[in-house]
Amino acid sequence: MHRRLLELIENGNYNEARQMLLDLNVVDIAQLLEEIKGEKLVVVFRLLPKELVADIFSYMPQEQKQYLIETITDQEVTRIMEDLFLDDTVDMLEELPANMVKKILKNTDDDRRRLINRFLQYPENSAGSIMTIEYVDLKEEMSVAQALAYIRRTGVDKETINNCYVMDKNRKLVGIVSLRRLILAGEATPIRNVMEKKIVHIDTSMDQEEIAHLFRKYDLTTMPVVDKEKRLVGIITIDDIVDIIEQENTEDFQKMAAMEPSDEAYLKTSSFVLARHRIVWLLVLMVSATLTGSIIRSFEEVLQSVVILAAFIPRLMDTGGNAGSQSATLVIRGLALEEIRLKDAFKVMGKELRVSLLVGAALSSINFLLIHFLEGTDIRIAFTVAVSLFLTVVLAKVLGGALPIIAKKLRLDPAIMAGPLITTVVDAVALLAFFSLSKAILGL
């Protein structure tokens, strides 16, 4: 059907295409429009029913939004801007070039322009920057019937009416009442008596990661944002939170793989930008690896007499790195989900120590058997490798458990203490132990 629709558009069968488009969900329409380029896009865009245009527009990729705003008339821009929710407008403006922001603001009425400007000033990723002001505000002295009448009158333009916010005379937030509760309550009941007074609220500066955590903790679908006087200034809705959770996870994945985080989609980022995000950490880690190199250099004469020792370097380095990554990943993840707190530091290290003793003992025994019996290497060398491997695993896991917590304590992001960094540290110690032991045990 997708292909058929594109064909109809390609051949200029717009009427038939329009009929098919109308059967689609707005998200699917936006996705389909992605494949239409240039003037055809404007033609198809103008075919869409007026009441869906803003909604479809909000799901389009930034480049297409930009192209459309450049191309369509001022009246059309005004119409879209009037129908877009404020948070979607602000999101879009943040990424548009200045001349286009001007074109949009020129076509926006004064009140809304003032609001947009205020929103653009909130720091990125703060509650202020992701909230919307299209909420339903009730007064505590209203009755349920009055509230419902008020909602019927004003609710059409609100992003959600499932939760309504109750204010006192000074516009201070005093309660929340769900539409569900209003429907189920008697018409004469005062709002004051049906509203929920235990409110989870946040202020405009709270970071989105923390907000997402509160949504998850309290199973919320909306959350009010208040100013310092506890006056309601906006609400945040769960659909934005779901995207934020994925965005925060993507950032953690990137940091843990030693990259600078970026929220642009991979295929839409240029090779040059991708290279820039990756090279800094690679360079830092490469230079750190010269330390490990110089440890090997300092044992040159040991290696000279038993050159076969070099064959065990990869095994020690890889196993150390992997063992450390495992621990660091679990702890970083636990910290991110707040399943592990700072006060658990000793518990975590104790656990990692026990796990590392189990894992280290198993790996090093298997390794000993492999090296001595299967590969037929000298028993003293097999023993040295096994002991070094054991020490490496223990060190890697304890460091892997401790470093993310220390980072958090120092108010750094625990995610940077992941595999790559721990691997580099563990490598140096592992090889130092291995060559010192070899020297002693082989009597060199």
Q: Residue 93 Cβ, how far from a second copy at the closest point, in Å?
A: 20
Q: Among residues 77 and 323, whose Cβ is nearest to a second copy?
A: 323
Which residues, in sequence order, are bridge partners of residue 203? Answer: 226
The HSE-up count of residue 9 (CA atoms within 13 Å, CB side) is: 28
Q: Among residues 141 and 196, whose Cβ is nearest to a second copy?
A: 196
Q: What are phi and psi of 116, to 5 degrees?
A: -60, -45
Q: Residue 286 Cβ, how far from a second copy at the closest point, in Å?
A: 5
Q: Residue 73 Cβ, how far from a second copy at the closest point, in Å?
A: 29
Q: Residue 115 Cβ, how far from a second copy at the closest point, in Å?
A: 23
144-176 burial: b if 16+ Cβ within 10 Å, else e: bebbbebbeeeeeebbbbebbbbbeeeeebbbb
Q: Among residues 120 and 257, whose Cβ is nearest to a second copy?
A: 257
Q: Among residues 55 and 77, whose Cβ is nearest to a second copy?
A: 55
Q: Residue 251 Cβ, how far from a second copy at the closest point, in Å?
A: 10
Q: Residue 103 Cβ, how far from a second copy at the closest point, in Å?
A: 27
Using alpha carbons, select from 92, 363, 179 the residue that is nearest to residue 371. 363
Q: Among residues 27 and 412, whose Cβ is nearest to a second copy?
A: 27
Q: Among residues 169 and 272, whose Cβ is nearest to a second copy?
A: 272
Q: Among residues 57 and 77, whose Cβ is nearest to a second copy?
A: 57
Q: Residue 38 Cβ, how far from a second copy at the closest point, in Å?
A: 21
Q: Among residues 114 and 216, whose Cβ is nearest to a second copy?
A: 216
Q: Residue 106 Cβ, how far from a second copy at the closest point, in Å?
A: 30
The packing angle between helices 313-336 and 419-441, to 10°, is 140
Q: Among residues 203 and 243, whose Cβ is nearest to a second copy?
A: 243
Q: Residue 359 Cβ, how far from a second copy at the closest point, in Å?
A: 5
Q: Residue 325 Cβ, how far from a second copy at the closest point, in Å?
A: 5
Q: Among residues 273 and 441, whose Cβ is nearest to a second copy?
A: 273
How many residues can be counted in the chain? 444
d(CA 118, CA 134) in angstroms, rounded, equals: 15
Q: Is 63 exposed, middle or buried (0-12, 13-18, 19+ CB in 10 A)?
A: exposed
